[in-house]
Amino acid sequence: MTTQPVTRAAASIPPSEMPAAAPKISIVIPLYNEEESIPHLCEALDAAIANYGQPAEVIIVDDGSRDNSFKLLKEYAARDPRFTIIRFRRNFGQTAAFAAGFTQARGEVVITMDADLQNDPMDIPLLMAKVDEGYDIVSGWRKDRQDRWIDRKLPSMMANRLISNVTDVKLHDYGCSLKAYRTEVLRHVHLYGELHRFIPALASQVGATVTEVPVNHRSRQYGRSKYGISRTVRVMLDLINVWFLGTYSTRPIHVFGTLGLASMGVGVLFGMYLTFVKLILGESIGNRPLLLLAVLLVVIGVQLVTMGLLGEMITRTYYESQNKPIYVVREIVNDFADGADAG
Ligand code: UDP
Ligand code: MG
């Protein structure tokens, strides 16, 4: 279904203008209700690809737009077979749109950007220069960001600091959509929810090298932003998620067990103290708040340890049901094993 526009266009296009077998770059763009910017976007992409000078494909993922976006995109793709349009049945979100684009991409390198032209496609050679230096991921850094300070730049600045510290992948601008990824590393990154903001951190967990370059940024000229300040809370929750899965997903008992044992230990100490007060000093302890706290700590501790054990069982189901390795191999030299899979 997704290949229809291209196939139809191909009939009217001479073989010399057909898309090359495997493009060098695949530009992936999630798009939701951006009809006003589409003509400008397509024009800018065309110019940027010509400027870059290597074979490229553009994959625009229409994330269930309710305006004229798909119609415009389809018209454009009918004229230019380098453009592939994937249309979602409903709005699944920017992360899902990225994931669909990554699956479709045939290029060696995937470049992502927004559809609203806040990013400048002319920056592609800047990113590619770093990829050619050997980095797996190059993140754009909107050094001179053209957005409001109070609800955009300030929360973003704090979030970037926090994410950099927690994930240990130091970037100034996780939120910038303009990024380049070696397609190979994306195969190991599984996206859920709104995790597209964390792709550099997730990819780094499977061994990708990450760097950043300052890029152009413009204020939104067409349409409206799809996000409000409420995303800050979701970003924080996602950060806990990424940190936990990255560090403890194969050993949840370590996180829950440590907390549980600490809680139990303190509870037992309080309990011993209260036993001493009751048995040796002969005082009544029935009305002491400390008794309640001691009991609470022990119960919470037992629950946390149990949760850790449940986590261990879930981890086994997760990895073993899909034969998922707990490591990622870069390459094997002299690999003589049968049915070896270097992935
Ligand atoms: N977008 C999308 N699905 C959504 C929300 C946004 O595909 O549910 C696209 C949107 O069309 C744009 C990009 O994701 O191309 C970034 O969105 P936006 O510009 O609204 O975010 P901001 O730049 O304000 O952070
Ligand atoms: Mg934008």
| Residue 105 clears pLDDT 60, i.e. is over it | yes
Calculate how far, in angstroms, residue 218's C-alpha sits from the geometric centre of ligand 2.
9
Across the range 76-97, mean pLDDT stands at 97
Cβ–ligand 1 contact at 31 (below 6 Å):
yes
Residue among 273, 243, 274, 248 nearest 259 (CA)? 248
* pTM of this structure: 0.86
Q: Which of 152-156, 294-298, 305-309 has the lowest mean pLDDT?
A: 152-156
Cβ–ligand 1 contact at 238 (below 6 Å):
no
* Ligand 1 probe mutation, 40, 226, 235, most atoms within 8 A of CB: 226
Contact at 8 Å (CB) between 165 and 195?
no
Facing residues of 243 across strands? none
Mean pLDDT of the chain: 91
The residue assigned the tokens 């340890």 is 305
Cβ–ligand 1 contact at 62 (below 6 Å):
no
Angle at 125 between CA 3 and CA 217, to 5 degrees: 90
Q: What is the reported pLDDT for 296?
A: 98
**For the chain, give me the number of helices (H) and strands (E)?**
11, 7
Facing residues of 179 across strands? 112, 139
Calculate how far, in angstroms, residue 97's C-alpha sits from the geometric centre of ligand 1.
10
Query: What is the three-class DSSP state of 96?
Result: helix
> Quick one: DSSP state of residue 85?
E
Angle at 29 between CA 28 and CA 32, to 5 degrees: 150
Task: Give the span between the Cα atoms of 19 and 10, in whole angstroms.
Answer: 9
> How far is the CA of 177 from the CAs of 48, 113, 129, 214, 259, in angstroms?
17, 5, 18, 13, 37
Across the range 266-271, mean pLDDT stands at 98
153-208: pLDDT as tens digits: 999 999 999 999 999 999 999 999 999 999 999 999 999 999 999 999 999 999 99
> How far is the CA of 140 from the CAs of 107, 119, 174, in angstroms?
19, 9, 8
* Ligand 1 probe mutation, 88, 111, 116, 147, most atoms within 8 A of CB: 116
Cβ–ligand 1 contact at 93 (below 6 Å):
yes
Cβ–ligand 1 contact at 34 (below 6 Å):
yes
Task: Give the span between the Cα atoms of 192 and 98, in whole angstroms.
Answer: 11
| Residue 23 clears pLDDT 70, i.e. is over it | yes
Task: Give the span between the Cα atoms of 162 and 288, in whole angstroms.
Answer: 41
